[in-house]
Structure 1
Amino acid sequence: MKFKFVLLRKSNNLTFKRSFIKMDMINRENKYKTYLRLFLMVLLISIPVFLVKAQNNDSKPLEKIWVSPQQEKIIISSSSQIAEDKTEFLSIQEAIKTLDFENSTEAKPNFGYTSSSYWCRFKIENTASVNQIRWLEIQYPALDSVWLYEVDSAQNIIQVRLLGDKMPYNKREIKDADFLFVVDLGARKTKTYYMRFRTQGTMTFPLVLWQPQAFSEQTANDRFGFGIYYGIIVVMIFYNLFIFFSLKDRAYLYYVLTIASIALFQLAFNGLGFQYLWGNFYPFNDIAVPFSITFFSFISLLFARQFLHLEESLPKIDKMVLFFVALIIMELFLTFILPYKVMIKVSSITGIVATTLLFYMGVMSYRKGYKSALYFLIAWSLFWMGILCSIFKGFGLLSTNFITTYAIQIGSALEVILLSLGLADRINVLKSQLAKKTIAEKNQKIENEIKQRYLIESQNQKLEQLVAERTADLEQKTIELQSQNQKVTDSLKYAKRIQEAILPPKQELDAILGEHFVFFKPKDIVSGDFYWISEHKEEQKTVIAAVDCTGHGVPGAFMSIIGNNLLNQIINEKQLFYPSEILEELHKGVRTILKQDYESSSNILSTSRDGMDIALCVINRKENTLEFAGANRPLWIVKNGGFEEIKGDRKAIGGWQNKGEKREFTTHSIDLNGEMNVYLSSDGYVDQFGGDGQISKKFMSKNFKKLLVDMNTKDKTAHNLENQRSTLEEVMEKWKGNEPQIDDVLVVGFAVSKE
């Protein structure tokens, strides 16, 4: 019986105790002696096995982790043993006796969302002959409680310490965003530790043993990276907030709140918010993450509605978004009521749905032709990938590593930058649309005024005829006619101011061309000649044109308006920069506007033969070339005293055209391999009558070419292009003498060289 008593003490098992009591009773009854002997033999064989199982559940030995002074950083997780406590509330003694610990193979063990507690144990041996102070870091700041037990070889508890985000920050041993325990390792000593982890969120506990100096250096590097990230966030918040106050565009306010929600999530997720902001108000930790995710889903959808103009462009999707936003508003209130373990899962699912919806809205808007949606689409795609990585890590579907740990920071930083670019592009698009609308309204107004002046001029002619027929009222009618003429003249002067407003201002010409001149002298108050310029920095191209429209005065001015509008459409809107293509499109546009392709019921083409001649060149800074195409007008180049004439095609823009004929033009390309002066003009200068003799004659192209060469060679002071303009005007006035000006005069000269 003494032997049985010893067995009972060792097993500490109530079931065995009851069995021995029953056996003792049977032993007193002689008729069961044979069965008792057999039972005792089986029991004596089985008890040692049960004793071993009860006292040492895990058959796997706990290997030592060797710590030398040279090791700055040791990954503890991969050299420890881990066990799951499904009851959640086992004590240290119960965990030691009952849990089956398994060797860990991961440096960053991750078990996703779970209601279980987890235990970890490891053994550390100091190989040095001196004491070592180490810091044990748990690299995940969102754990509710972390218990550290130090036990001796007999499994007796030596020391117990507790950390967690349910405790005030000022209670921590070492002040840091992550949890840190001080580990004092005696010389040549071995210590065994047990750790218990509980959380309502993701169960992950990467363990690292640091030298304090090495940890401080690593933390400084990490903080530098976070500083850059939060610096981007703060700059974007203030920058876009400033724009919001300037433009009063709600898209910027929603965007600022979106960035703020991302920043709040990051501060709560990586522990920096607990460290620097709400460390002593720890209950906020349970709210911060699910609230920031839910608020982000809410405000980002409002931002997308405003940015993508969903109400006008995609009304059905807009209604779906508003319904989802209403649900999220209710969810926002629930974050203050429901427990963290429920809301973190609900908010994570909401975040996935919201980002998926944002991606879908971006795709649909881009397919509808909204170009700024491309920035939106790429930005949210990157952020969406970051969120998915983080959420899948939370559910344990992805392992914990640098990418999955910082996926949201990486994605959100890229998203913030790209969306800021998208907002800037959105402003440019709106400005462009407004500018086009303003130009169209202005041009329409000018066209209407010119039509009105034209009608006034026609009425004036009728009045003159009426005066001739009514000779009896000549004096009175003459007075009336003078009054009407004055009105017409005033109107034409006003039309001149309008036409001058359409022409490129001198400041624009100075900025684009640099050294240049424009000699522009209309025959009448308004002109049928005009010059045109447009610079496209993205394409590194500048387009210059000198245009001679049919007629002069009001009809010519009306044609110049048509030509100016068509050049704006072809070059600035359609982005055509090849000279021959520009002229071909201009030809089609003139014939369409003047209905020169129109056939009546009698199959007779329109009698309108109006059109224009043009010299157009493109300065191509990418290729360092000067490209030219002309319709009945040439290009002249003076370089190093030499003269070169490049003739345009002997075809007009608009006017009569054979049926089936395809009007095509030729592009000439000149390399910019040195400084040269380039000249474009209408035919008004060379066709002007005058001269020294009794017989009046035209100035002619030959004399004009000679004049250009002389200005660039003989007269040193005329090398300056502004002086050349004065020379051209003086020569014209001297040649014309008392002869009237017969046509509008336009000469454009500019210097160009290789960059």
Structure 2
Amino acid sequence: MHALRIVHRYINLVTGVTPTLIRYVSQIGLLAWIGLLLPVLAQGAQHSARVVSVAEQSGPISVSASLDYVEQSHRVYTIEDILADQAVGDIPWISNRMDSPGFGFDANTFWFRLVVSNSTQQTLDRLFEIKNPVLDEVLFYQVDADGYIVNVSKTGDRNPASDRPFFHHNLVLPFEIPAGETHYLYFRVTTAGSLEFPLEMWTPGDFQERDQVKLLFFGALFGILVVMGVYNFFIYALFRDESMVYYAAFSIGLMFFLATMHGFTTQYLWSDTPWLRENALVIVIPLTLFFSLMFSRHFLQLEQSYPRLNQMIIMLASLCLVLAAAAPFSSYGALIRLNATMVIPICAGGIVVGLLRWLGGYKPARYFVIAWTAFLLAITFFALSKFGLFSRSGISEYAVQLGAVAEAVLFAFALADRMNTQRKAFVKAQAKALDLQKRANERLEASVAERTQELQGAMEELEDANQRLQALSMQDGLTGIRNRRYFDEKLEREWHRALRNQESLAMLLIDIDFFKAFNDKHGHLAGDECLKLVAQLIERTLTRPSDSVARYGGEEFAVILPETDMEGAVHVAENIRLAIEQEALEVEGQCLHVTVSIGASAWIPQPDQGQQELIAVADQSLYLAKSAGRNCTRIPV
């Protein structure tokens, strides 16, 4: 029946995407194969219960292959029906032959039956471990040979971990069977996600011993992902490389995905939050995909190399955010199917884009491609098992964990390789400058008199190269004005000079009003042009050589005004504000206008103060300007 279900699913897939003629041909061919396979499939349709002995058990026993099951598709079975069947035998039980019965994303309820016997002279305690902690509800009935219910338990992710019969990240059901007795065990399983029922039986001692090893494995796995995330977040704080922060978020997202899939989040984080217990996966998966897509576009520099692909990835990442936001308002079953369907194409797309960049000469992409390939193989096993296309196994069970760690480590290699490439380029430029200086010195030693002019030219070239390097390190790549580094150094110099001469020093913090909305509406390219225009207008408004403007961060600019009091600072600020307000930016035939909010600060520095106070007061003034409705200048109260 399970194989027939898979074939039927494949027929539905074919009929949804092919023309009518191909549809009929495909169905006829598949029906012919079904006819050939029926003798093989029929061996699973036995109705007699198979008995599992619990005597002298050592280690786990996989009892999945000894299960019988029946689906509640056309008839609803109650426990009374099941008990009556134990005597009459009119329920069409199907014998399972798989190591782990899997039925894909089927919202129906299934009953599973297992018969166990204790041939020893003592009562035995055993544990059932269901290695799928995201099942919604599992009702467990233990019935003796006379048809009396001797034990009832309930578990599943609809139940808090503290209310389960056994506190564990997986679904664990304890039971005992008296000496010399045979019992019938029934499991009523309901879920809106993928219905897999991998069942193992343990002795309590063996289970505890195995669990310690397993917790060490998962602890190391989660530790690696968390360390990778935290480390790269600190790297981002140092270098401000956006790919680092997206990689850090992706690593943490992977950790939460794996922890949720294996029940650890339900056990330790949101055990008492029913909505999160049932919907965490449909939030974590799209968010993790979002961070992976954003990391990919920044790491591969797609905005410069493949703008169209970059836009497609942004749209796909936006869809992931929409799916995560839709969790409170949509069906879990529909969302988990959609998420599972998206994972493999996104992984495959990552490989294709990485190959394009690799073949285009971008060497850091090679680790990126290998990482996505490893994760694609892992997630393929995982996704196909969730759709029930093959039974759960050791490979599919731990493929995602190993693939995730491999991907995280390889992404780290890719980031390190890119940083190494950039470092080599810098060293090469530095070596070239040193080589120029060395050759100039050698020429000077050989003939000072004859080659004075050549030496002068070489020194000028060297000086020019050094100045260009210095200018590049102090220049904002987008707007062409000075950057934050220049601003910090300039402000420190002017502060000490004003302190020494006891002169007033002023600064302005300028923020473009509603820039994010402008960016979202007109696109990043229009946003870049807006930043350039504002930078040019500010620079054009400053008339004194000692005044300077720098890009402070994002859509913020900072202006340093030496020997200027508060009145003068406000005068300059208003000139800047009016110049920007009156200027038009042409985007795709439209004339657009933007405004700015400006915060000012100015005073004569004192020995017990620092330049950071000047920045803080300007920032407070900027906040006042925004609170006053924007497009205005404010000074500290």
Question: What is the TM-score when the length of structure 1 is the normalising length?
Answer: 0.52
Contact 1:88 1:116 in 2 (8 A): no
Residue 107 of structure 1 aligns to a residue whose secondary structure is: coil
Q: How does 1:227-376 map to 2 (within 5 A)?
A: 227-376=219-368
Say whether 1:213 aligns with 2:131. Answer: no
RMSD (CA atoms)? 2.7
Distance verdict in 2 for CA 1:414–1:169, change over 3 Å: same
> Deviation digits for residues 646-695 of structure 1, max 9, x if unmatched?
xxxxxxxxxxxxxxxxxxxxxxxxxxxxxxxxxxxxxxxxxxxxxxxxxx
Other-structure match for 1:79: 66
Q: Structure 2 CA distance, aligned partners of 1:428 and 1:73?
A: 49
Say whether 1:115 aligns with 2:107. Answer: yes
Deviation at 1:256, TM superposition (A): 0.6
Residue 274 of structure 1 aligns to a residue whose secondary structure is: helix
Other-structure match for 2:49: 62
Q: How does 1:39-54 map to 2 (within 5 A)?
A: none
Q: Structure 2 CA distance, aligned partners of 1:132 and 1:159?
A: 14
Which amino acid in the other structure matches residue 324 of structure 2? Answer: L
Which amino acid in the other structure matches residue 527 of structure 1? Answer: E
Deviation at 1:263, TM superposition (A): 0.9
Which of 65, 71, 80 pairs up with 1:93? 80
Which amino acid in the other structure matches residue 282 of structure 2? Answer: P
Deviation at 1:88, TM superposition (A): 7.5
Q: Structure 2 CA distance, aligned partners of 1:254 and 1:367?
A: 24
Residue 329 of structure 2 aligns to a residue whose secondary structure is: coil
Which amino acid in the other structure matches residue 73 of structure 1? Answer: P
Q: Structure 2 CA distance, aligned partners of 1:425 and 1:560?
A: 34
Q: Structure 1 CA distance, aligned partners of 2:202 and 2:143?
A: 21
Identity level (%) = 27
Other-structure match for 1:203: 195
- Larger RCO, structure (CA 8 Å, separation 6 or more): 2
Other-structure match for 2:166: 174
Distance verdict in 2 for CA 1:72–1:434, change over 3 Å: closer
Which amino acid in the other structure matches residue 345 of structure 1? Answer: R
Other-structure match for 2:603: none
Q: Structure 2 CA distance, aligned partners of 1:412 and 1:60?
A: 42
Q: Structure 2 CA distance, aligned partners of 1:117 and 1:345?
A: 18
Residue 159 of structure 2 aligns to a residue whose secondary structure is: coil
Q: Structure 2 CA distance, aligned partners of 1:59 and 1:230?
A: 43
Q: How does 1:279-678 map to 2 (within 5 A)?
A: 279-438=271-430, 498-499=437-438, 526-528=444-446, 553-554=451-452
Q: Structure 1 CA distance, aligned partners of 2:391 and 2:48?
A: 26
Q: Structure 2 CA distance, aligned partners of 1:418 and 1:528?
A: 52
Which amino acid in the other structure matches residue 445 of structure 2? Answer: S
Which amino acid in the other structure matches residue 78 of structure 1? Answer: A
Distance verdict in 2 for CA 1:62–1:235, change over 3 Å: same
Q: Structure 2 CA distance, aligned partners of 1:209 and 1:310?
A: 51
> Deviation digits for residues 124-159 of structure 1, max 9, x if unmatched?
111111111111111211111111112233434333
Q: Which moved more, 1:275-284 or 1:163-172?
A: 275-284
- Count of aligned pairs: 412
Contact 1:297 1:355 in 2 (8 A): no
Deviation at 1:555, TM superposition (A): 7.7
Deviation at 1:427, TM superposition (A): 1.0
> Deviation digits for residues 242-261 of structure 1, max 9, x if unmatched?
11111111111111111111
Q: Which moved more, 1:78-87 or 1:202-211?
A: 78-87
5+ residue gaps in structure 2? 1-44, 463-637
Q: Structure 2 CA distance, aligned partners of 1:130 and 1:95?
A: 28
Distance verdict in 2 for CA 1:528–1:337, change over 3 Å: farther
Other-structure match for 1:479: none
Contact 2:121 2:180 in 1 (8 A): yes
Q: Which moved more, 1:397-406 or 1:369-378?
A: 397-406
Q: Structure 2 CA distance, aligned partners of 1:116 and 1:136?
A: 23
Contact 1:528 1:555 in 2 (8 A): no
5+ residue gaps in structure 1? 1-57, 447-497, 504-521, 530-549, 565-755
Deviation at 1:87, TM superposition (A): 4.5
Deviation at 1:285, TM superposition (A): 2.4
Deviation at 1:163, TM superposition (A): 0.9
Distance verdict in 2 for CA 1:377–1:59, change over 3 Å: closer
Q: Structure 1 CA distance, aligned partners of 2:117 and 2:298?
A: 62
Residue 126 of structure 2 aligns to a residue whose secondary structure is: strand
Q: Structure 1 CA distance, aligned partners of 2:450 and 2:82?
A: 103
Q: Structure 2 CA distance, aligned partners of 1:203 and 1:551?
A: 89
Q: Structure 2 CA distance, aligned partners of 1:348 and 1:73?
A: 30
Q: Structure 1 CA distance, aligned partners of 2:76 and 2:96?
A: 22
Residue 153 of structure 1 aligns to a residue whose secondary structure is: coil
Deviation at 1:499, TM superposition (A): 3.8
Contact 1:278 1:284 in 2 (8 A): yes
Q: Structure 2 CA distance, aligned partners of 1:300 and 1:89?
A: 43
Deviation at 1:282, TM superposition (A): 3.0
Distance verdict in 2 for CA 1:528–1:388, change over 3 Å: farther
Other-structure match for 2:536: none
Q: Which has the larger radius of gyration?
A: 1
Deviation at 1:311, TM superposition (A): 0.8
Which amino acid in the other structure matches residue 67 of structure 2? Answer: S
Larger relative helix fraction: 2
Deviation at 1:116, TM superposition (A): 1.6
Larger relative strand fraction: 1
Q: Structure 2 CA distance, aligned partners of 1:88 and 1:225?
A: 43
Other-structure match for 1:129: 121
Question: What is the TM-score when the length of structure 2 is the normalising length?
Answer: 0.61
Deviation at 1:394, TM superposition (A): 0.3
Residue 111 of structure 1 aligns to a residue whose secondary structure is: coil
Q: Structure 2 CA distance, aligned partners of 1:147 and 1:430?
A: 59
Q: Structure 2 CA distance, aligned partners of 1:277 and 1:239?
A: 23
Distance verdict in 2 for CA 1:70–1:296, change over 3 Å: closer
Q: Structure 2 CA distance, aligned partners of 1:181 and 1:359?
A: 43
Which amino acid in the other structure matches residue 186 of structure 1? Answer: P
Deviation at 1:356, TM superposition (A): 2.1
Other-structure match for 2:29: none
Deviation at 1:201, TM superposition (A): 1.1
Q: Structure 2 CA distance, aligned partners of 1:342 and 1:201?
A: 9
Which amino acid in the other structure matches residue 207 of structure 1? Answer: L
Residue 393 of structure 1 aligns to a residue whose secondary structure is: helix
> Deviation digits for residues 6-57 of structure 1, max 9, x if unmatched?
xxxxxxxxxxxxxxxxxxxxxxxxxxxxxxxxxxxxxxxxxxxxxxxxxxxx
Q: Structure 2 CA distance, aligned partners of 1:551 and 1:265?
A: 73
Q: Structure 1 CA distance, aligned partners of 2:452 and 2:102?
A: 83
